Amino acid sequence: MSSADDIRQECWTKATHCLATSYIFQLKSKKYGDYQRYNNILGLIVPLSIGAVAGTYGSQTEHLKWALIIAAPFSIAQVIISGLALANKWESNLSYSLESQTENRLLSEDYKSLAKYPPEIYSDLKHKFELLTTKDNERTKQDEKITFSDKENRKGLRYSLMILQIQCAVCSVKPTSMSPTDCTNCGSF
């Protein structure tokens, strides 16, 4: 970096990137959270329903027989969904997404703060920027284990441009909503 203005501009770029990454992980955490919630609900409703029927009518009644017949497809679905949850690591993906979402948002805030309120002494600015960049690089190394689609990247960028009120480098528009556009940089998702 050659000047304080260059560092501040790089801070804005990195703040945008970190906020976009945070938003993508926010969407992923919502998806994995929903998957886990559906799996948990199905895993509770089926056995509780059968237990309630057996407890209410007894274990040797026609009601229990019908309850088991009705519950059988739901039980099969629940076993399949639980298998998918284990095979696709929904729980660990949810945990990782929540962690990365938070850390990237905090990094974005730190970059934004450094860009807005830089220390007056250039060496202090440079030192703070280098420390922040080291933290960011470590987070990025971890996050690169998770792949994002092009659509997710564009959606994340649009979100960060909208929140930070920055113009898109391609379409020169400051997004005001998350509605998709034809822009190949911040739209088309």
Instruction: Determine the average pLDDT of the residues in 164-170.
Output: 96
b/e code 154-163 from CB counts within 10 Å (16+ = b)? bbbbbbbbbb
Asked if residue 22 belongs to a domain, the reply is: yes
Asked if residue 67 belongs to a domain, the reply is: yes
Nearest 5°: CA angle at 153, between 180 and 11?
110
Residue 148: pLDDT band with limits 50, 70, 90: very high
Short-list 28, 112, 42, 49, CA closest to 80: 42
Whether residue 2 has pLDDT greater than 80: no
Using DSSP, state whether 76 is helix, strand or coil. Answer: helix
Residue 172: pLDDT band with limits 50, 70, 90: very high
Instruction: Determine the average pLDDT of the residues in 142-164.
Output: 97
Alpha-carbon distances of 92 from 19, 86, 88, rounded to whole Å: 22, 9, 9
Asked if residue 185 belongs to a domain, the reply is: no
Q: Which two tokens stand for residue 173?
A: 């528009």
Domain count, the chain: 1
Asked if residue 73 belongs to a domain, the reply is: yes
- Inter-residue contact 100 to 129 (CB < 8 Å): no
For 7-56, write each residue's pLDDT tens digit: 999 999 999 999 999 999 999 999 999 999 999 999 999 999 999 999 99
Asked if residue 15 belongs to a domain, the reply is: yes
Asked if residue 179 belongs to a domain, the reply is: no
Asked if residue 63 belongs to a domain, the reply is: yes
- pLDDT at 113 (0 to 100): 98
Determine the structural domain holding residue 69 and report its residue range.
4-148
Instruction: State how far the Cα of 138 lies from the Cα of 96, in Å rounded to an integer.
Output: 15
Regarding pTM above 0.85, the answer is yes
